[in-house]
Structure 1
Amino acid sequence: MKNILIYTLLCFLLLSSFNTHAQRRGGQGKHNMFGLKLGATLFDIKTDNFITTPSYGFIGGLATRGDFYNNWDIQLGMNISNNKIKIQGRENATANAEDIDFGLLNAQIQVLFGYKLIGNNRNYKSNFKLTAEIGPVLMVNSKMKLEKDSYESYLIDKANLTAEDIVDINGINANGLVGLSIGAEKVRAFVHYQYGFNNILNKLNDVEGNTEDFKGNVSMFQFGALFYF
C-alpha cells in the first residue's frame, strides 16, 4: 500500500499544477482554495456472484478548488479511504449463513467540475453556496482484508469459493462521480455517489478451480465536510 500512496501523491501534485494553470487561464482567480476533507463512506459491490451488505467506513483527503469558466469551478482531490463490506458465507455447506466482514483500503484521485447553482460568478457576495458536481475518479486499492482470520475457510454463498479466495480483486479501478456540495465559502458539506465503470472482480476469474463468471462494480456513497483555507 506504501507504493500506492506514493504514486497517488505524485499524480495529485501533477494534476494540482494543471489545475492551477487552468484556473489562471479560464477562471476569475478569486476563489482558488486549498482544503481538507473528512467524512464517511457507504461501500458496496454490485454483483450477482455474492450476497453483499453495504457497510460504513471513513474517508479523508486533500482538495483544491478554483474558478474555471463562468459559473463552473474545477476541483482536484486526493482521498484515502478505509471501506467496509459484508459478504454472506457459511462455515460449511450445512451451516447457517453469516455476514463476513471485509475491509478495503484505497487511494483516489478525482477531478470534478462543479456548476454553481447558488453563489455563482454573478453573485460573489452570496454567503450560501450550492454546487452540482461531476467527474472521473481513479481508485487504486489494496486486496480486500478479512476482519477475522477465522473466516478464511468459510464458503461464500453463490460463489463456490472460500472467503480467502475472493480477497484479490482489481487493484486499479475507474469510477464516475456525481453529487452536491453545500455551505459557506470556507466550510461545505458534500454528498457524492461513485459507480465503477470496470469489473472490480475480474481477477477472481483467474482463481484456480473457479467455474463462475465474476462481474462486479463499485457502488459507493461519500458524505462529510470540506474545510478550505
Structure 2
Amino acid sequence: MAKRDEIIAMGKGMLDKEGVINFSLNTFLAQNNISKGSFYHHFKTRNELIFAILEEELRIFRANVEEKIYSLHTLQEKLMLIFGCYCFDTPKNRHICKIYEDLGKACLYDEVFNAHLRKIQKDMSYLIVQSIETSRLSPSKRKIALDMVEVLSIGIDGFFVYYGLVLDTDSDTYAVRSEQIMSFVVALCTLLGSSVESKVRKRISDTVKEKK
C-alpha cells in the first residue's frame, strides 16, 4: 500500500504540471500505479489530496520566511518577503496564485478548503506579528500596525485570489494586482515610517526571482 507521504509527493508533481482544473484523480492513480484502496485509505477525495499538498507547501513557506525575517531590518522588507508571491512576478508565483484562484472558484463552500484557508490566515498572522515586533517602530506606530494584523492576513490574500472572481473577468490581471499590492505595502510602511528605497525593493525582487 502506498504511504500517505508518497502519494502527496507524487500528487505535487501532477498538481505542478496540470493545475487544479486538469488534475484528474483517475489519471493520477493510473500513472503512479496507486490502487484506489490505497488512495481512499488516506484521502476521502481528490480535493483532500490537493489540500494536503498545499499544507506541506505552506509548512515549508512558513519555515523559510520565519528563518529570514530576523535578518531584515524594515517592516516593508519583511512584508514584501511574506507577500512575495503577490508582489513579484515569477512563473512559480503565478502558478501558486492560479491554484488558489481555481480552488477559490470551485471550493468556496468546501469545509476542508475553508479549514486550509484558516490555517493560512493563522500562519500569515503569526509571520506579520513577528515582522512588526522585530521592526524599528515607535510604540504608537507598532500598536497601529498590530491592530491591522487581521486585515493584512486576510485582506491581501482575499484581494488577490478573488479579484478576478468579483470583477468576473478571465483576462490576465496578475500584473495589475501585483502592482496594487506592492503599492499598498509601500504606502502602509511609509506611513508607519518603516519603508525602503526603490533600489532596495529591486534588490529584494531580484533575489526572489533568482530563487524561483
Instruction: Tell me if TM exceeds 0.5.
Output: no
Query: Normalized per residue, which structure has more helix?
Result: 2
Which of 1 and 2 has greater Rg? 1
Q: TM-score, normalised by structure 1?
A: 0.25
- The structure with higher relative contact order (CA 8 Å, sep 6+) is 2
Query: Normalized per residue, which structure has more strand?
Result: 1
Q: TM-score, normalised by structure 2?
A: 0.26
